[in-house]
Amino acid sequence: MSEFDLIKRYFTRSTPNVILGVGDDAALLRIADGMELAVSTDMLVGGTHFFPDTDPYLLGHKTLAVNLSDLAAMGAVPRWATLALSLPNANEDWLQQFSAGFFALAEEHGVDLVGGDTTRGPLNLCVTIMGEVPAGKALRRSGAKAGDDIWVSGTLGLAALGLAHLQKTIKLHEDARLPCLAALHQPQPRVALGVALRDIAHSAIDISDGLLADLGHILESSGVGAELQFAAIPKVKAHDIDESTLRHCVLAGGDDYELCFTAPAARSGEIEALALRLQLPLTRIGSVNAGKDCTVRTAEGGVLKIKESGYDHFE
């Protein structure tokens, strides 16, 4: 199969929302009046971000999902994507499954694949996602204000627990295993939440590197500090997992792709109503203050000591 057959067979679908899609030297897109273009790129590298033998359908989903998550965090509506693939070989079963997983999620979100690049090389999957957001309305990391509540969507630490289970450093009981592996392999980008938060939240980020690392970006960009209540953070009930592993996965585990956002306390009723409308748990886990650091309090009122990108130990 030639490179062009491969592109035609697996990566060329109708693109109703563009002037010109796959097949020329560039795609042509038209942005609606009054909208800004939001652009983000995320790359998944075999052996680094995923096991090379990962189910290709799930990998197709995740390759797009992690990109949709970045636009969700901006409050943008995803519209178009390009896909740069480096493949060790043209395995047709793999390509069939990968593209099916990719397009299933693309269709769910009305995203057109409008171009890309295909080369032979180590397995590497790179998407550039483009979307629209009303001018001036994008959610940024820099908008958090002292006094804001800090919220997260969903449950944190699931993907990291799932990964630890696959790496056999822990053994998850069946009840916890299913949601943890689903979170790791099939993250659900919180696009509708991001859009709904445009006029509510002061700042937002998606949790790809762990809560403390990503909230840390908001705090640094905004020039503020925070206090979190560890007990308030939504986490899986895994009775057989030791406290320190759970704590590590919840605070520093990556790959959850939930949103963390800050909003004025006066908006909490609207946020609770939003959780009901979206059928997505939204949980207040702490508050922004005028300090510099992020403090995590235990239920007993103690402080968890935190290093730069994760927690260290109990104090």
Q: Which residues bind Mg ion (CB under 5 A)?
A: 117
Each residue 68-107 as x (binds ligand ADP by CB under 6 A) or -, in order, gives: ---------------x-x----------------------
Q: Is 44 in the site for ligand ADP (CB under 6 A)?
A: no
Residue 47 contacts by C-beta under 8 Å, 6 or more apart in sequence? Answer: 122, 123
Q: Is 5 in the site for ligand ADP (CB under 6 A)?
A: no
Residue 115 interacts with which of ligand ADP, Mg ion, none, CB < 5 to 8 Å by class = ligand ADP
Nearer to Mg ion, 24 or 308 (CB): 24
Other Cβ atoms less than 10 A from the Cβ of 281: the count is 12
- Does 23 interact with ligand ADP (rule: CB under 6 A)? yes
304: enclosing H helix or E strand: strand 303-306
Q: Count residues near ligand ADP (CB under 6 A).
A: 13
Out of 46, 115, 154, 187, the only residue in the binding site for ligand ADP (CB under 6 A) is 115
Q: Which entry of ligand ADP, Mg ion, none binds 102, CB below 5 to 8 A by partner kind?
A: none
Contact between 25 and ligand ADP by CB under 6 A: the answer reads yes
Contact segment (CB under 6 A) with ligand ADP among 22-30, 42-50, 63-71, 161-169 equals 22-30
Q: Residue 86 CB, nearest distance to ligand ADP (Å)? A: 10
216 binds, among ligand ADP, Mg ion, none (CB under 5 to 8 A by kind): none
**Which of 7, 125, 126, 218 is the binder for ligand ADP (CB under 6 A)?**
7
How far apart CA 36 and CA 195 sit, in angstroms, is 14
**Token pair of 36, please?**
């800004």
Classify 279 in phi/psi space as left (phi over 0), alpha (psi -120 to 50) or beta: left
For β-strands 225-229 and 294-297, DSSP reports them as parallel
Burial letters 237-272, b for 16+ CB under 10 A, else e: ebeebeeebbbbbbbbbbbbbbbbbbbeeebeeebe
Collapsed DSSP state (helix, strand, coil) of residue 156: strand
Tokens 């790496």, located at residue: 167
Taking Cα atoms as reference points, which of 72, 40, 125, 89 lies closest to residue 260?
Answer: 72
Q: Which residue has the tokens 């550039």?
A: 128
Q: Can you give the binding site for ligand ADP, defined by CB under 6 A?
A: 7, 11, 22-25, 83, 85, 113, 115-118
